[in-house]
Amino acid sequence: MQIFKIKFFYLRFIMLITGCLLIGYGISVFKFVNWGVDSYGTMVIALSDIFKASYGNTLLICNTILFALSVLMCRPCIKMIGIGTLINMSMIGYVIDFLDFLYLQFFPLQLSIYVKFIWSLSAFFIFSIGVALYIKANLGIAPYELMNMSIIKHFNEKFSFHQVRVFQDLLMLAGGFALGSVIGINTVILSFFTGVVVHFFGKICEKHIIKDRW
């Protein structure tokens, strides 16, 4: 039984790392294509540009702030923190920085609209698979979601997860846009379709990867 648990932890850890890599790839493509990114990324890009810092460093600082505020607002939310939380907050940004560097070396800055569309669409599905793998690994929620849950708990669950998430996303989008970030078609796609596609891939993950292993 103990060996079984260790093997299953390794499987979940591989899912976690793979998920973070795919998430990083997806965001790096959205960022390079410049048709907008997710709501949180919109704010991070704006702050990165203002302070002339790399995306990875800016994301790590933002994640650390969200992490600290979440713990201060909701001590019980500490139970939601795991190794996945720490890897998510420290890894994804630097994956994006590394891929950004590669894109600048091998791709022209002016891509055709067709290339941008196909690349963005494929990146969206890869990003969604990454999110599904990360969630199903169940090794700790990301700092952005941790803040979401801490707000709900702090206000004694007067607001639903959906209400808080919409407010949080709109706040990030408005702030990022006001500070100079681009909001485009990819932002819209990520806002309206990520949940459905992640759910779809999550079901596939449950059926073919983690079925009967919990």
In sign, the C-alpha dihedral spanning 139, 142, 143, 149 is: negative
Interval 136-182: pLDDT, tens: 999 999 999 999 999 999 998 999 999 999 999 999 999 999 999 99
Tokens of 89: 């907050």
pLDDT of residue 208: 82
As a whole number of angstroms, the distance between CA 109 and CA 120 comes to 15
Q: Give pLDDT tens digits for 114-136.
A: 999 999 999 999 999 999 999 99
Average pLDDT, integer, range 6-23 = 93
Domain boundaries, the chain: 19-209
Task: Give residue 211's pLDDT band: very low, low, confident or very high (50, 70, 90).
Answer: low
* pLDDT tens for each residue of 27-68: 999 999 999 999 999 999 999 999 999 999 999 999 999 999
- Counting Cβ atoms within 10 Å, is residue 83 exposed (0-12), middle (13-18) or buried (19+)? middle
Identity of the amino acid at 40:
Y
Question: Would you state the structure tokens that stand for residue 97, as one six-digit string?
Answer: 């920085």
Of the chain, the percentage scoring pLDDT greater than 70 comes to 96
